[in-house]
Amino acid sequence: MLRGVARSASPQGYETPPAPELQRLMWTRKGSSGHMDEVQPRIYIGDMYAAKDKRLLQAHRITHVLNAAAGKFSVNTGPGFYRDTRITYHGVGALDMPSFDLRPFFYPAASFIKGALSSPAGKVFVHCAMGLSRSPTLVLAYLMIRENTTLPGAIKAVSANRNISPNAGFLEQLRGLDRELQRRGPSRSRALNGRT
């Protein structure tokens, strides 16, 4: 679990911050904007250039790739692209538009990331086209769902290592997830066991 960013056992005293406050958290960080950055131990966020560079992925010993921009008109990789590697692939056909509903993908993506990290040698690369909006949104959701982190805590943890900027719609969806998880409180971990 991330130090200093865990959800409190008691729901009192914490409220999901408004979007401008969360955006300020992202803007005040001095993260990187490389093709591929380790944002948490064994979790990397990056762009389409890193996703298509199999040698780079193998050099970092990536075992799993989560493409948050899957599809013919986005980043057209897939299981076939990685067939000559030992990389396990999962694709999410998300559009980087505030109106796109990314919420149905939060739990499946979190389960994929958790599965990748269940092996001591597992490393997951989560990417979209630029590594700024779609892929960070899915990593933030993972930290909230599986690591019991608040949304501000997740933003601080990720943006310390990479510049991120989920679009306004995704940020609102993450705020909704934060409120939902807060309402569940301590019993939410039991509920998660049924959602893999």
Confidence of residue 28 (pLDDT cuts 50, 70, 90): low
Range 36-183 classified under CATH 3.90.190.10 = yes
Closest by CA position to 155, among listed 168, 169, 174, 177: 174
* Order of all β-strands in the sheet with 43-46: 36-40, 43-46, 124-127, 64-67, 88-91
pTM here is 0.89
Q: Where are the domains of the chain?
A: 36-183
Query: And the tokens for 77?
Result: 């990789």
Residue among 128, 145, 154, 155 flagged as catalytic: 128
Active site residue 49: no
Q: Tens digit of pLDDT for each residue in 56-99? A: 999 999 999 999 999 877 899 999 999 999 999 999 999 999 99
- pLDDT of res. 3: 40
Q: Tens digit of pLDDT for each residue in 122-146? A: 999 999 999 999 999 999 999 999 9
CA distances from 157 to 61, 92, 187 (A): 22, 23, 24
